[in-house]
């Protein structure tokens, strides 16, 4: 899976996990590289969980990591104060 695929899949998973935060998610995807990284990591963990593991403790670790990550993402979304600026709007510089 390419980085672009991981981001696309991770963003989709994020939108499904936080359906009421659509605008914040879109803004953070545009402007926050750390949030994009979290989306990619969510995609990786979800794929690993879906593929499974012959060892229950490994699968449990992946699920716990995914749960921690989604809590971190929820925290990031709750703290986001992204205010979209209108295109073409510029503040005059002195």
> What pLDDT is stored for residue 54 in this prediction?
79
More confident residue, 57 or 18: 18
The answer to the question of residue 56 being in a domain is yes
The answer to the question of residue 33 being in a domain is yes
* Domain total of the chain: 1
The answer to the question of residue 84 being in a domain is no
> What pLDDT is stored for residue 91 in this prediction?
53
Tokens of 4: 């672009």
The answer to the question of residue 94 being in a domain is no
> What pLDDT is stored for residue 3 in this prediction?
83
The answer for residues whose C-beta is within 8 angstroms of residue 28's C-beta and 6 or more apart is: 35, 76, 77, 80, 82
The answer to the question of residue 70 being in a domain is yes
pLDDT tens profile 30-76: 999 999 999 999 999 999 999 987 788 899 999 999 999 999 999 99
The residue range of the domain holding 74 is: 3-79
| DSSP letter string, 12-74 | HHHHHHSGGGHHHHHHHHHH-HHHHHHHHHHHHHHHHHHH--SSHHHHHHHHHHHHHHHHHHH
The number of beta carbons lying within 10 Å of the beta carbon of residue 47 is 14
DSSP one-letter code for 92: P
Q: How far apart are CA 56 and CA 53, in angstroms?
A: 7
Average pLDDT, the chain: 87
Share of the chain above pLDDT 70, in %: 86
Tell me the pTM. 0.79
The answer to the question of residue 86 being in a domain is no
More confident residue, 84 or 71: 71
The answer to the question of residue 92 being in a domain is no
């Amino acid at each position: 899976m390419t980085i672009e695929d991981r981001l696309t899949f991770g963003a989709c998973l994020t939108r499904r996990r936080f359906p009421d935060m659509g605008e914040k998610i879109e803004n953070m995807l545009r402007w926050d590289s750390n949030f994009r990284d979290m989306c990619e990591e969510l995609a990786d963990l979800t794929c690993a969980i879906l593929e499974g593991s012959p060892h229950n403790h490994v699968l449990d670790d992946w699920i716990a990591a995914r749960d921690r990550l989604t809590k971190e993402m929820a925290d990031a979304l709750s703290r986001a104060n992204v205010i979209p600026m209108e295109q073409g709007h510029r503040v005059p510089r002195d």
